[in-house]
Amino acid sequence: MCGACLSRRKLLALGAAAGLAGCSENADTGRRQLAFIPDEQLVGMADQAWAQMLAQVRPVRDPAAHARLARIGRPLAEASGRKLAWEFVVLDSPEFNAFVLPNGKVGFFRGLFEFARSDDEIGSVLGHEVGHLVARHPAERVSQELAVKAGVGIAQVLLSGGEGGQGGEAVAAALGLGAMYGVILPYSRKHELEADRIGVALMEKVGQNPRAAVTFWERMIARADAQPKPPEALSTHPADERRLAELRAAVAA
């Protein structure tokens, strides 16, 4: 049961005003979620955030890189059953990170792309990102954000359709993109582990080798240990021993 659903009258009133749904059980994760933002609204927010992202961080010029990313990602997206305008873009930035928006746009930073040694390693990141959408994490995150702020800020943006400026930043932040972008705001550990599990299942479904997820994270950790400052993806996608252990278990299952 989602406590916030019952305790936040204001929020419910707001939800009603915006034509929002409420708590529901997610068949893919088997738990109830506070996710009352309708998909169309999330997609609209994501379209706006994606356009802003592309204005600030350019896609790489190498068409072969995008083609490779799409070739690996598309089967995973299809296997997810989420009918979205999926797009896979390598962004020209040295960061070790990737993200997905609820409109199916996947940004994969060049740093992480070049670090990957195989298609399956790239697939393990993409499976994870697609997994976030299968588990409806963006809807949950935006809903939680709204619950915390009790309808202020983002709610106004949602209700007004939000255009640029501060509103645009609030929308992007709710979707997990920092104000200046390049900064990917973390999902909760629970969300990360769920996305990992779903990612492994998707990889198996499309014939990619999910063991690559384990080796990839092992290498990421080794790299972090070798550096005074951990790469960005490690702080936002915590790659600790528990995560690795759960990944190993999911791959072995």
CA 216 to chain centre: 18
Query: Which residues neighbour 14 within 8 Å (Cβ) at sequence distance 6 or greater?
Result: 20, 146, 151, 155, 159
In the bound state with Zn ion, the residue whose beta carbon lies nearer, of 50 and 217, is 217
In the bound state with Zn ion, the residue whose beta carbon lies nearer, of 171 and 195, is 195
The least distance separating Zn ion from the CB of residue 51, rounded to whole angstroms, comes to 22
- Please tell me the distance from the alpha carbon of residue 215 to that of residue 82, in angstroms, as a whole number: 28
- Please tell me the distance from the alpha carbon of residue 127 to that of residue 125, in angstroms, as a whole number: 5
The least distance separating Zn ion from the CB of residue 190, rounded to whole angstroms, comes to 11
Residue 243 burial (10 A CB sphere; 0-12, 13-18, 19+): middle
**How far apart, in Å, do the first and last CA atoms of the chain sit?**
29
Give the range of 151-159, 203-211, 216-224, 230-238 binding Zn ion by CB under 5 A. 230-238
The least distance separating Zn ion from the CB of residue 245, rounded to whole angstroms, comes to 17
- Contact pattern for Zn ion over residues 28 through 47, marking x by CB under 5 A: --------------------
In the bound state with Zn ion, the residue whose beta carbon lies nearer, of 15 and 129, is 129
- Contact pattern for Zn ion over residues 231 through 250, marking x by CB under 5 A: ------x-------------
Give the range of 18-26, 51-59, 157-165, 194-202 binding Zn ion by CB under 5 A. 194-202
- Please tell me the distance from the alpha carbon of residue 79 to that of residue 146, in angstroms, as a whole number: 31
Footprint of Zn ion (CB under 5 A): 195, 237
